[in-house]
Amino acid sequence: MNNTITDTNFNFPNQKSLYKGKVRAVYNINNEQLVMVATDRLSAFDVVMPKGIPYKGQILNQIATKMMKETEDLVPNWLVATPDPNVAVGHLCEPFKVEMVIRGYMSGHAAREYKAGKRMLCGVPMPEGMKENDKFPSPIITPATKAEMGDHDEDISREDILKKGIVSEEDYLVLEDYTKKLFQRGTEIAAARGLILVDTKYEFGKTKDGKIVLIDEIHTPDSSRYFYADGYQERQDKGESQKQLSKEFVRQWLIANDFQGLEGQTVPFMSDEYIESVSERYIELYENITGDKFVKADVSDIQSRIEANVLEYLK
> Which tens digit of pLDDT belongs to each residue from 154-182?
999 999 999 999 999 999 999 999 999 99
Confidence of residue 251 (pLDDT cuts 50, 70, 90): confident
* Total-model pTM: 0.89
E-state strands within the chain: 15-20, 24-29, 33-38, 43-44, 47-48, 79-84, 87-91, 94-95, 98-105, 120-121, 124-125, 135-141, 144-145, 154-155, 195-206, 212-215, 224-228, 244-245
Strand partners, 140: 103
Domains detected in the chain: 15-94+270-314 (3.30.200.20), 96-245 (3.30.470.20)
Per DSSP, what are the bridge partners of residue 19?
26
What was the pLDDT predicted at 3? 86
Of 295, 282, 298, 272, nearest in space to 249 by CA: 282
Contact indicator for 138, 126 with CB cutoff of 8 Å: no
pLDDT of residue 151: 55
Q: How far is CA 4 from CA 54, 88, 134, 298, 313, in A?
A: 5, 18, 37, 11, 23
Q: Do 3 and 13 contact (CB within 8 A), yes or no?
A: no
What is the average pLDDT score of the chain?
93
Q: Please give the Cα distance from 281 to 35 (Å, whole number).
A: 27
What span, in angstroms and rounded, lies between the C-alpha atoms of 83 and 160? 40
The band of 248, judged by pLDDT with boundaries at 50, 70 and 90, is confident
Q: What is the pLDDT of residue 209?
A: 92
Q: What is the mean pLDDT of residues 196-212?
A: 96
Region 226-235: what's the mean pLDDT?
Answer: 96
Give the per-residue pLDDT at 152.
Answer: 64
Distances (CA, A) of 25 to 42, 165, 198, 314: 13, 28, 28, 17
What is the C-alpha radius of gyration for the chain, rounded to an integer number of angstroms? Answer: 19
Output 307 or 45, whichever has higher pLDDT. 307
* High-pLDDT (> 90) share of the chain, %: 85
Q: Are strands 24-29 and 15-20 parallel, antiparallel or unpaired?
A: antiparallel
What average pLDDT does range 267-293 have in this prediction? 92
Q: What is the pLDDT of residue 150?
A: 46
pLDDT score for 222: 83
* Separation CA 186–CA 101 (nearest Å): 13
pLDDT one-digit tens code per residue, 111-158: 999 999 999 999 999 999 999 999 999 999 999 997 654 456 799 999
Average pLDDT for 103-112: 95
C-alpha–C-alpha distance, residues 14 and 112, integer Å: 46
Nearest CA-CA partner of 138 in 103, 101, 94, 176: 103
Rounded Cα gap, residues 231 and 272, in angstroms: 33
